[in-house]
Each structure stands twice: as structure tokens, then as C-alpha cells.
């Protein structure tokens, strides 16, 4: 069966961490709209120029821009066996658009108490070269501030400051949390406790999605 998976959850819940592991396990692509936008910002494309300031404030990029890049990405041949969408959909309009493009069969909702989110994100570090992700306390690199995989100096995302994280959380509660009911009503929402070691969270997801 084609695995069309959506990762839902507040900023910092662990969507990207789990999506990467699931992508390796299932051999289907991890599609992160946040990563696609950051790439566009880095390359200075028209989309990147439009998205940069919106992302720095922790607001959402307009639906029509995001819908267009997701539609194009899902049409590529590597999505034929399935995909893992991380950070999309984020509004009801995006969810309805996704329904018009393809059918979703698993929505994995990773739940983490809000009071843990700020700490998770402010201490997150990422590798700008290979995309590996670390946390200075929970998952530190072996060598100080260097990526374990490729040795590149790690960076902190521009939107991982305390003020912006609080705004991202407010935006999530206002615009994205409605999707929980949207998918729950269709019987495809699976709630996973994200406040556990990374491998235990993955194990719970695999119990839902299957080997």
C-alpha cells in the first residue's frame, strides 16, 4: 500500500527528526516545506525573497505559494510509493488543497507539552551542509559544534530565538491545531507521545504505519 503520511505537531515536537528516520526506514522521501523554503531563501529565488521575512517573524507563508511547490514535488516519480510530509499542511486551506492532489492515509500527530518546546528549539543546532539535526542537551554532537556526519560547523536557525518560537507556537495554535479535528473526524489521526527518547517515539510510529 502507498504510504502517504502527514506529520503534525507543534514547532519542535520532533516532526523532522522522526520524518528523517521514517524516510530511511520506508525508503520514501521526506518532504519538509520548511527545508524547501530555507533552501529558496539561501538561493535567493523569487519564492525565497517572498518567504524570508515572513519566516523570520514565525508567520506562515501564503497558502498559494506553498501549495504550488508541494504539488510540483508530489508529482515527481520518487513519490509514487509514498512520501512523508513534514510541516505541510498547516492550514485548513492547505489540507483541502492536499486532498485535491492526493489521498493521505496516515496523519502522525506528535504531542509534546508546550512548556518543553522553547527549550527544545532554542538549543537545536543543524548542519547547513547535510541537514543533520542536534540538540545541545538531548542529542549533542560528539565534537563541540561540529556535525558528526560531515564535520561542518553547526548553525542555529534564525527563527529559533525565544520570541520567535513563542510566536510560532501562537500561530500553530491559531491556524494549524484545527487540522487535528479535520483528520480525527476522518479516522486517520494517530496521536504519539513525543516526550520520550527518539527511538521510542519512532517505535510507536512504526506500530501505526507498519513494518
90 is catalytic: yes
Q: What angle do CA 170, 6, 48 make, to 5 degrees?
A: 65
**Binding status of residue 13 toward ligand AP5 by CB under 6 A:** yes
Residue choice 9, 29, 82, 141 for contact with ligand AP5 (CB under 6 A): 9
Q: Which of 38, 52, 120, 124 is catalytic?
A: 124
**Binding status of residue 52 toward ligand AP5 by CB under 6 A:** no
> Residue 67 has which C-alpha cell?
501549495
Size of the site for ligand AP5 (CB under 6 A): 37
Q: CB 90 → ligand AP5: shortest distance, Å?
A: 4
**Binding status of residue 90 toward ligand AP5 by CB under 6 A:** yes
168 is catalytic: yes
Stretch that binds ligand AP5, among 29-37, 40-48, 71-79, 95-103 (CB under 6 A): 29-37
Rg (CA), the chain: 16
Nearer to ligand AP5, 79 or 198 (CB): 198
**Binding status of residue 16 toward ligand AP5 by CB under 6 A:** yes
Residues of this chain that bind ligand AP5 (CB under 6 A)? 9, 11-17, 33-34, 37, 54-55, 58-61, 66, 87-88, 90, 94, 120-121, 124, 133-135, 138-139, 159, 168, 194, 196-198, 201
Amino acid at each position: 500500500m502507498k504510504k502517504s503520511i502527514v506529520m503534525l505537531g507543534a514547532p519542535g515536537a520532533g516532526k523532522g527528526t522522526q520524518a528523517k528516520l521514517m524516510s530511511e526506514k520506508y525508503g520514501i522521501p521526506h518532504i519538509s516545506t520548511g527545508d524547501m523554503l530555507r533552501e529558496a531563501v539561501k538561493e535567493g529565488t523569487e519564492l525565497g525573497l517572498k518567504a524570508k521575512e515572513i519566516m523570520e517573524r514565525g508567520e506562515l507563508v501564503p497558502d498559494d505559494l506553498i501549495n504550488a511547490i508541494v504539488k510540483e514535488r508530489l508529482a515527481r516519480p520518487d513519490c509514487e510509493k509514498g512520501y512523508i510530509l513534514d510541516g505541510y499542511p498547516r492550514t485548513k486551506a492547505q489540507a483541502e488543497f492536499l486532498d485535491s492532489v492526493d489521498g493521505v492515509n496516515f496523519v502522525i500527530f506528535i504531542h509534546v507539552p508546550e512548556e518543553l518546546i522553547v527549550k527544545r528549539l532554542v538549543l537545536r543546532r543543524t548542519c547547513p551542509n547535510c541537514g543533520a539535526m542536534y540538540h545541545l542537551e538531548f542529542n549533542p554532537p560528539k565534537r563541540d559544534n561540529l556535525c558528526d556526519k560531515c564535520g561542518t560547523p553547526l548553525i542555529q536557525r534564525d527563527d529559533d530565538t525565544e520570541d520567535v518560537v513563542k510566536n510560532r507556537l501562537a500561530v500553530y495554535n491559531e491556524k494549524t491545531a484545527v487540522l487535528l479535528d479535520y483528520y480525527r473526524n476522518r479516522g486517520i489521526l494517530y496521536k504519539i507521545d513525543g516526550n520520550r527518547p527518539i527511538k521510542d517515539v519512532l517505535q510507536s510510529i512504526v506500530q501505526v504505519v507498519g513494518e
